[in-house]
Amino acid sequence: MTKALLSALIRPLVEPRLPEWVEPLWFANKEQALEFAPDAEIGWFDLNEKEPMIEIARSATSLKWMNSIYAGLDFMPLDVLKDRGVTVTNGVGINAITIAEYVVMLMLAHAKGYRDVVRAMDRKEWLHDSPGKRELAGERVLLLGMGAIGSLIRSRLEAFDMTVVPVRRSGADGALKPGEWRAKLGEFDWVVLAVPSTDETKGMIGAMELAAMRPNGVLVNIARGDVVDQDALVDALKEDRIEAALLDVTDPEPLPEDHPLWELDNAQVTMHLSGRAQTKMFQRSADRFIENLERWHKGEQVQPQLDLDLGY
């Protein structure tokens, strides 16, 4: 029997489908997880807070495979997991559809001034003109990040007749190479960030990049808050050097109540809700986990695997 440390939250979705060779160790809190962790060869111990997950991972000294619903696991002790030879599967692609839809919503809401429409509705005020007159069709988008989410963002924006230019290492199919996009920032109306948080991407949008954007440029970030120099962004927004920033992610999270981003009319903060705007996340994750259990038992490769060196 192979012992698997599993959260009681996903029990209804996986217990009836567990193969006979799996002995589940169900936990309802951190203390129970830490008690069972040393015996587990397989672990799926996602929690809302990061520190307990780190503690459990360090305690799981027999772990061979760790699964997670999270796409970004840069907060986990990846060096420890690598040293122990642990295979890690993450939640890449689980939320891709809803996040891509969220990007379209953010862009349309900004283009049409929908936030002002809602405010007028709350005041019961009948507007005689649209507060937003921008059309997506014909505008140019720089897309940084062409993983599962970025690919879906691209297809949806192209359906609006937008020109989407991604950044790829190969530079194939009209893409820009990693060393080329900064020099061309002024050619784009929108800059969409869909990259993982790594040492390479942290602070990739700073004062220099913001200064290179068009005055009507809009920054859309559904990646991680730390890929943007937030202080530089606040300065650029206050001085109207770019038109707006649409931010599903911030640094830190939650954003403090006294942070200036809350007060800026040209900033929209949507509290990292893009991946949660759905009902299928846990079912998709459970389905993927059960499929991977079969692969694991057969000695086949489980998917999608996190590169423990790159962090994504």
**HSE of 46, CA atoms in CB hemisphere, 13 A:** 17
**Burial grade of 195 (CB within 10 A; 0-12, 13-18, 19 or more):** buried
User: What is the four-CA torsion angle of 10, 12, 18, 22, rounded to 10 degrees?
Assistant: 60
- Angle at CA of residue 195, ends 79 and 136, nearest 5°: 170
Cα-based distances in Å from 163 to 1, 181, 191, 199: 54, 15, 12, 29
CA distance 219 to 277: 21
Look up residue 101 and give its amino acid: E
* Phi, psi of 61, deg, nearest 5: -75, -15
- Name which of 307, 306, 299, 234 is nearest 266 in CA terms: 234
CB-based contact 286:67 (threshold 8 Å)? no
* Phi, psi of 75, deg, nearest 5: -80, -15
> What are 112's two structure tokens?
């049409």
- 110 labelled catalytic: no
Catalytic residue among 253, 263, 291, 300: 253
Look up residue 174 and give its amino acid: G
The conformation of residue 178, written as its DSSP 8-state character, comes to T
Catalytic residue among 41, 224, 243, 288: 224
- 272 labelled catalytic: yes
Catalytic residue among 58, 134, 241, 272: 272
Catalytic site residues? 224, 253, 272
